[in-house]
Amino acid sequence: MSKTITEKEIFNASEQELTVLMEKARKISWNALGKRIRFYYPSKEFPSISITGSTCAQSCLYCNKHYLKAMHSLTTPQKMLNFALKLKAKEGKGMLISGGYDEESVVPIDSYLDTISQIKKKTNLSINIHPGLVTLEQAKAIYDSGVDAASFDLVTDNQVIREVIRNGKTAVDYKKSFEALINAKLKVIPHICLGLYYGTDKGNIEAVKLALNYDIPLIVFLGFIPTKGTPMENVKVITSDFLTKISIYTRFRKTDLEQSLGCMRVRLPEYEREALLVGINRIAVPKKKTIEFAQKTLGLNVESVQTCCAI
C-alpha cells in the first residue's frame, strides 16, 4: 500500500477526502492497465450450468437454493457434452460450470472432469468452474481437465460462515481450498461478496487482504442481494461508499491487479458509477447510463465481451 495513505485513512475518509482518493486510484488504474473498461454479458453465448439441477445440500441464508433455478440443469456428463457441442455449433463463447454443494461444501464435479477435457479438446469454448471447497488432489484434477479459470467464493470470517453460510466449515477450510487451487496452478479468481453479513462489511476487508497475499490475475467484487424467499430477503445492502473504499484499498495494495464488479449484485446505478470513478476495470451487465458515463464523461475505451467477467 502507498506509504502515505493508510488503511484507516481510506476507510475513515470524509466525503471530500474520498473524492481525492478516488481520483488517485483511478489514475493508478489507468496508468497500469489502460484507460479502458470491459463490459461483460454472460448471456446465451456463455450460459451458467448446474450439474446438480436445483439440488443443494446446504441452505445458506442468502441463497436458499434460489439461484440454481435459473441455471441450465445438466445432471450427467453426457448431457453436458451434448450441450457443449450444441453451444459450439451456435458459436457460443463458453460456460460457467457450477451447481449446488454437497454436505462438505463441494460442487461434485469429479465425474465431469473427463467430459470437460473432451469439451476443451473438441471445442474452443472457455470454461469457468465454480468448484466450492477442494483438496489439493481435487484442484490438480480440475487443472488437468483444462478449464480456463476457477472462481472461488472467498470467505474468511468464522462468524459469517457459521451464521450465514452455515456449512460447519471454518475460515481455515476456505483458505486451504483457495491455496489448493492456486498451488494446482489454476487461474484462480477470488470472488468477495460485500455485505454478506446482513449488509455490513464484516469480514470483507480481511478477505481482500488474504487474496492480495497471492499471485492472482483478478479480483471480483460481488454485492449481497436481498432475495425474495430467503431468510435474508429484507436485509439492507452494502453501500456504494464501501465498494469505493475497498476498491481504493485494493488498488493501493496492488496497482496492476484487475478489479471487476461481478454480476451477482443489486442493480443499483450508484454501484456502477462509483466503480468507474474509482477505476475498476470490468463490470458485468452494466446499465445503459453506465456505458454512456464511461464513454462521454470519462472518455474510456469501451469493450464488450460475451462471457462472464472471470474469463
Domains of the chain with CATH codes: 7-305 (3.20.20.70)
Q: How many CB atoms lie within 10 A of CB 267?
A: 12
For the residues 175-201, what does the mean pLDDT come to? 98
Grade residue 264 by pLDDT with cuts at 50, 70 and 90: very high
**pLDDT (tens digit, 9 = 90+) per residue, 86-134?**
999 999 999 999 999 999 999 999 999 999 999 999 999 999 999 999 9
Grade residue 36 by pLDDT with cuts at 50, 70 and 90: very high
With contact defined as beta carbons under 8 Å apart, do 293 and 273 qualify? Answer: yes
pTM of the entire predicted model: 0.96
Quick one: 148 exposed, middle or buried, by C-beta within 10 A (0-12, 13-18, 19+)? middle
C-alpha–C-alpha distance, residues 172 and 160, integer Å = 13
Q: What is the pLDDT of residue 2?
A: 44
AA letter at 66: H
**pLDDT (tens digit, 9 = 90+) per residue, 130-144?**
999 999 999 999 999
List the one residue out of 53, 45, 129, 146 whose CA is nearest residue 87.
45
Quickly list DSSP for 61-108. Answer: TTTTTGGGGGSEE--SHHHHHHHHHHHHHTT--EEEEE----TTSB--
Q: In the chain, what percentage of residues exceed pLDDT 90? A: 96
Helix (H/G/I), strand (E/B), else coil: 106: strand
- Cell 495513505 -> residue: 5
* First vs last C-alpha separation in the chain: 27
Grade residue 3 by pLDDT with cuts at 50, 70 and 90: low
**Cβ within 8 Å of residue 22, ≥6 positions away:** 244, 248, 274, 277, 278, 279
Q: What is the pLDDT of residue 107?
A: 97
Which set of grid coordinates corresponds to residue 221? 467484487
For the residues 65-81, what does the mean pLDDT come to? 96
AA letter at 240: S
Question: For the chain, how big is the Rg over CA atoms in Å?
Answer: 19
Which set of grid coordinates corresponds to residue 134? 477442494
The number of residues making up the chain comes to 311
Q: What is the pLDDT of residue 87?
A: 98
Quickly list DSSP for 108-150. Answer: --GGGHHHHHHHHHH---EEEE--BS--HHHHHHHHHHT-SEE
With contact defined as beta carbons under 8 Å apart, do 156 and 169 qualify? Answer: no
- Cell 449481497 -> residue: 224
For residue 26, pLDDT beyond 70: yes
Residue 67 DSSP symbol: G
For residue 46, pLDDT beyond 80: yes
